[in-house]
Amino acid sequence: MEIVRKPLQGVGNIVRFNWHFYALAAAAALGLGAVWLAGPPVVRDWAPWLLAALLVPVVVSLAVSAYVYDFSGLYRLAWLPAAKAACPNILTVNAGFDEISAAIEQKYAPCDVQAVDFYDPARHTEVSIRRARRAYAPFPGTRAVDSRAALPWPDNSIDLAFAFLAAHEIRDPAERADFFRELRRVIKPDGQIIVTEHLRDAANFLAYTVGFLHFHSRRAWLRTFRSAGLAVAQEVAATPFITTFILRKNAGAA
């Protein structure tokens, strides 16, 4: 059965999981609106400018999110490469909220997908992730793993590994490189690791202002991949705000 996302599911989840932020923004907007209409003359003229400075970034970020997550076709996965194996061994990685494993299982059916979740409530303290975990059940058979420990698969056993909007949650560069070194270990010599992320770049700054600091730069990702003994075989821009790195083992790395 085809997986069908609900209308505006992506942007709706953003508001749902971050409602405290939007509630504060709405309260501030109401306050500035009241000042604009009935405040002291000395501050009334400033109110519309402050109101615009508050609302424009919020509206722009929601509009971009709706485009990326609801209208761009990101979750139809047409940008993914064809599998080299007839029925590949597939691993997906998430950080507490898995929107992709079911779609990947459908794309590569009848092959099975194995999912791991490296979410650690002691270290990943974002309230939005806790809300997402309460709202959505994990993909069946998902295993909890530690991003600082070995993955529970033998060497050279996985054809395709996916880290979809997840690996940026590993904030420490050394830990991130170690995690990708583990992914390198478990993929086959001709296997691929597919990493999809927002980047800390101009497009995402225009979309999310200071929120883009939660992402990593392209340079930081390339540094991570090199440290892990991985080479970028291809880069795919599914949207101007999303980049996918298709990685292979660097034959010259240990």
Which percentage of the chain shows pLDDT scores above 70? 96
* Rounded Cα–Cα distance for residues 252 and 193 (Å): 17
Q: Could you tell me how far CA 29 lies from the centroid of its own chain?
A: 29
Helices (H), the chain: 9-17, 19-38, 41-44, 47-66, 101-107, 127-135, 173-186, 202-208, 218-227
Q: Read off the amino acid at residue 238.
A: A
The mean per-residue pLDDT over the stretch 188-208 comes to 97
Sequence-distant (6+) residues with CB within 8 A of 1 are none
Query: CATH number of 80-249: 3.20.20.450, 3.40.50.150, 3.30.70.260, 3.40.190.10?
Result: 3.40.50.150
- Intervals of CATH 3.40.50.150 along the chain: 80-249
Mutual orientation of helices 9-17 and 47-66 as an angle, nearest 10°? Answer: 130
| Residue whose entry in the numeric block shows the structure tokens 């991003």 | 147
* Rounded Cα–Cα distance for residues 13 and 169 (Å): 18
Q: How confident is the model at residue 188 (pLDDT cuts 50, 70, 90)?
A: very high
pLDDT at position 253 is 63
pLDDT digits (tens, 9 = 90+) for 43-86: 889 999 999 999 999 999 999 999 999 999 999 998 887 777 67
For 23-46, b where at least 16 C-beta lie within 10 A, e where not — what string? eeeeeeeeebeebbeebeeeeeee
- Helix, strand, coil abundance in the chain, percent, nearest 5: 45, 20, 35
Residue 243 near residue 235 (C-beta atoms within 8 A): yes
* Rounded Cα–Cα distance for residues 29 and 53 (Å): 10
Q: pTM (2 decimals)?
A: 0.92
Q: How confident is the model at residue 195 (pLDDT cuts 50, 70, 90)?
A: very high
pLDDT at position 109 is 87
pLDDT digits (tens, 9 = 90+) for 137-148: 999 999 999 999
pLDDT at position 1 is 47
Count CB-CB contacts under 10 A for residue 52: 11
Sequence-distant (6+) residues with CB within 8 A of 163 are 92, 93, 183, 193, 194, 195, 196
Pair of tokens at residue 132 = 């997402």
Pair of tokens at residue 199 = 């980047």
Residue 180 near residue 210 (C-beta atoms within 8 A): no
